[in-house]
Amino acid sequence: MARWVLHVDLDQFIAAVEVLRRPELRGRPVVVGGDGDPTKRGVVSTGSYEARACGVHSGQPLRTAARRCPDTVFLPVDRDLYEDVSAQVMATLRGFGVVVEVLGWDEAFLAVDGDPEALARQIRDRVRAATGLECTVGIGENKLQAKLATGFGKPAGIFRLTGETWFEVLGDRPADALWGVGAKTAKRLEGLGIGTVGELAAADPDVLARHFGPTIGPWLVLLAQGRDNSPVSDAPHVPRSRGRETTYQHDLDDWADVRREVARLARRVAHDAAGDGRDVGRVIVKVRYAPFFTRTHGRTLEAPATGADRAGVDRIGADRIVEAALAALDGFNERRPVRLLGVRAEFAR
C-alpha cells in the first residue's frame, strides 16, 4: 500500500482548453456551456477565473451568467475536444509509473511513495509541458483527504491535508465542505444540531443511521473524521448504464411529440449501447414537467437486447429497446407540458 494519495485536478479545465485554442481569449471572462447561446436554456459547464470573479459559477443558467458578466465570451461545449485533451493528461500521469485512478475528464488519484510535494511539482511541470494546462495537486493519506486538499491548493498550488491537520483545516467548516455531503444532507444535519465537520465527526453513528439509513449514517461520521480506506484503483471502469436526455427550448405540449421524442432518444441509446458492445436489461424513461418536477418509469426487458440492428429470427434489439421505452412512457399519467425527456439503458449483468 502506497504511503500517499495525490489528487490531481486541472484548473478551470474546460475553459482553459478553449483558451488554448483561442489564445486571444486569455485574460477575458469565458463561459463554456450549452450550445454557447446565453439566450437559450442551458447552464454553465465551466467559467474562467475572470468570469468567476463577477459571480459566475458552474451550474448557473447561461442567462444569469450573461446578466452578471455582460462582456463574457460564451462558447458551446465540445466534448470530443475535452476527451482528447483529457486522454493526454491521463497519459502524462500514467507516465509516472504509479497507479492512476481517473475520476472524470479533469481529475485523477495517484497512489505514490516518496516525497509527495516533490512529486506534485513534477506532475504540474509535466502536465504543463505536455498540454499547456495548469493543475492543482492535493496530498493526503487517503483519497478523501487528497480530494479535499486540492480545494485549498487552487489555483495551480499544492496542499497537504493529513489526519493530523484535518480538524485544524476543516473542523469549523460547514458539513457540505465534505465530498459526498450536499445541500440537502447539510440541511437535514442542521436539523439534528450538526452544522460543522467537527460536530459531524463527534456525532453518534447509531443516531445518524436512524436518520440516514444503516450505510450512509455511519459513513457520514467517518467522512467527517477524514477516514477513508477505499483503494486507489486503476481497474478499468465498467459502465452500468448509458443514457441520453434533452431539455427542450420550448416545452412539449402534445403527447404525440413526446412519444416521438422518446422513441428517438431510445434509438440513440440503443445505438450507443451497441457501440459499447453491451446488452440492455432495463430501460428507464425520465420526464421533467414544466414546473420542474421529475418522474421516472422503467421496463425490464424479457430478455436482454443488443442495440444493434442485426437481422435475426427474433425482433431486432434496437426495436425492442424502443418498444420498452414507449411501454415505460405509458406509465406516465399526467399530460402536462414537458420540459425534459430522457432515456437510460441499464446494462444486463
Partner DNA sequence: TCTGGGGTCCTAGGACCC
Output 35 or 115, the one with its CB closest to DNA. Answer: 35
Considering the complex, what minimum distance in angstroms separates the CB of residue 118 from DNA?
Answer: 25
Output 6 or 113, the one with its CB closest to DNA. Answer: 6
User: Phi then psi for 44, rounded to 5 degrees?
Assistant: -75, 125
Dump the DSSP string for 36-54. S-TTSS-B-SEE-HHHHTT
Q: Which residues contact 199 (CB under 8 A, 6 or more apart)?
A: 175, 193
Among 49, 96, 105, 152, the residue binding DNA under the rule CB under 7 A is 105
Q: Of 277, 278, 295, which Cα lies nearest the Cα of 286? A: 295
Q: Which of residues 309-348 bind DNA (CB under 7 A)?
A: 331, 339-340, 342, 344
Scanning 102-110, 128-136, 191-199, 305-313 for contacts with DNA by CB under 7 A, the matching segment is 102-110
Annotated active-site residue 117? The verdict is no
Output 97 or 292, the one with its CB closest to DNA. Answer: 292
Task: Decide if residue 163 touches DNA (CB under 7 A).
Answer: no
Collapsing DSSP states into helix, strand and coil, what is residue 71?
coil
Q: Which of residues 221-240 bind DNA (CB under 7 A)?
A: 239-240
Task: Decide if residue 284 touches DNA (CB under 7 A).
Answer: yes
Among 36, 130, 162, 185, the residue binding DNA under the rule CB under 7 A is 185
CA distance 105 to 10: 9
Question: Out of 18, 50, 107, 346, which one is annotated catalytic?
Answer: 107
**CA quadruple 91, 95, 96, 97: dihedral sign:** positive
Q: Of 147, 113, 106, which Cα lies nearest the Cα of 3? A: 113
Task: Decide if residue 255 touches DNA (CB under 7 A).
Answer: no
Q: Of 197, 233, 223, which Cα lies nearest the Cα of 1? A: 233
E strand intervals along 168-259? 241-252
Active site residues: 107
**Given the rule CB under 7 A, which residues bind DNA?**
34, 41-43, 45, 58-61, 63-64, 103-107, 147, 176, 178-186, 212-217, 239-247, 272, 282, 284, 291-292, 294-300, 331, 339-340, 342, 344
